[in-house]
Structure 1
Amino acid sequence: MPADARPGHRVVYLRDREDGQRMKDVLYVHPPSYKGVEFHNPAGLPRPVVAGLPFPWVTPMGDSGPLFREVERVKAELCRRLWGCQVCGNDLDTTAWVALERPEDGSPVVTSAAIHRACLRLGVRHCPVLGDAANGYAFTEVFEDDITAVAGDGAQERAPAARWYLRSVADTARPDRVRTFLSVREVLEGPQVC
């Protein structure tokens, strides 16, 4: 066991990816296991299917199964800092998608990081929280400067260190554009392009 590893503690290393993406490979000295077998969660599509559901890149795995309601902090922070997709773990394009509490400027971003259009559709289709129309979430396409991080309160150890908010269009590099907000139904029925 490495000197910096403790029982029950995962030591994380980051390395450059061989495919040239900005996003890093995340390696664990003691990887999590599932049903007694080491569980590796590499970036990319298609996502591994665990317990009948696609397994997001930022979702942690526990020995007893997927921890779908939690987020791996290291991976979430990488997605924020390197403009990567929290669902597949690959680089985002010039624009990406976020889920919002309300369809308006200044609304908190619900997801821990931005996602590709195809990954948004995957999330809305399979996540019982994100895909529940009763929650009233709105979805919008953003450029990287459309969202701003505000430091978190540190109340939840596994939560990301910062929370994102949708910046006013007037305060971005493209102040003349019109922002569109979509519902769950519109995301699922919209064009099948990323």
Structure 2
Amino acid sequence: MKDVVYVHPPQYKGEEFQNPAGLPRPVVAGLPFPWVTPMGDSEPLFKEVERVKAEMCRSQWGCQVCGYDLATTAWVALERPQDGSPVVTSAAMHQTCLVLAAKHCPVLGDASNGYAFTEVQQDDITASDDETSHEKAPKARWRLRSVSETSRPDRLRIFLSLAQLH
């Protein structure tokens, strides 16, 4: 996935600023610049997500922060610590990338939002048919399958709070 550059007209200036995959992330305006974040005329559009890149991360099992492929397991943030919960992150992340995102993202890193974090494999996530979502998060497009619906129905799922994540 790291070789893909998606130009998101009209604001993303792909020819002027490439947002390549990799770690450490480029720092722009004093903040790490996630791979799925588009670039405006002169600054990152931190409140936006390049949907094509996010969809690539979902379908090809890549990290939304660094843009590299994920291992068998990755991490997501959930609205609540339970099976069926909406996934509030655009795509899964490496654990180190999730910690980086939680440290700098004002929504993801806000303990008052009550997000839960869990390790997942690709089949733990499925398309969401729930139109509701947390008031500060974008509409959830994924939900966490119950363990019994996955290829590993006998495993134990652990949910962490923001404080436990670090």
SS of 2:163's partner is helix
Structure 1 gap segments, 5+ residues each: 1-22, 154-159, 189-194
Q: Is the 8 A contact 1:85 1:91 kept in 2?
A: yes
Counterpart residue number, 2:65: 87
Q: Distance in 2 between matches of 1:114 and 1:184?
A: 16
Output the TM-score relative to the length of structure 1: 0.75
Once the two structures are aligned, what percentage of the paired residues are identical?
A: 73
Q: How has the CA–CA distance of structure 1 residues 98 and 28 changed in structure 2, closer, same or farther, with 3 Å as cutoff?
A: closer
Structure 2: distance between partners of 1:168 and 1:96:
17
Residues 40-89 of structure 1: CA deviation (Å, up to 9, x unaligned)? 10001000001100000000111142111110011001101100000000
Name the structure 1 match of 2:105: 127
- Structure 2 residue matching 1:128: 3-state secondary structure: coil
Cα offset, 1:28, TM superposition: 5.1
TM-score (norm 2): 0.87
- 2:36·2:50 contact (CA, 8 Å) conserved in 1? yes
| Cross-structure match for 1:56 | 34
Report what 1:139 is aligned to: 117
Note the aligned Cα RMSD (angstroms): 2.4
Q: Please give the secondary structure, in 2, of the residue aligned with 1:165.
A: strand
* Structure ID, larger Rg: 1
| Higher relative contact order (Cα pairs below 8 Å, separated by 6+ residues) | 2
Q: Which amino acid aligns with 1:184?
A: L
Task: Choose from 32, 43, 54 the match for 2:12.
Answer: 32
- Larger fraction in strand: 1
Structure 2 alignment gaps of length 5 or more: 132-137
Residue 108 of structure 1 corresponds to: 86
- CA–CA distance in structure 2, aligned partners of residues 28 and 99 of structure 1: 25
Output the amino acid matched with 1:32: Y
Tell me, in whole angstroms, the C-alpha distance in 2 between the residues paired with 1:71 and 1:112.
8
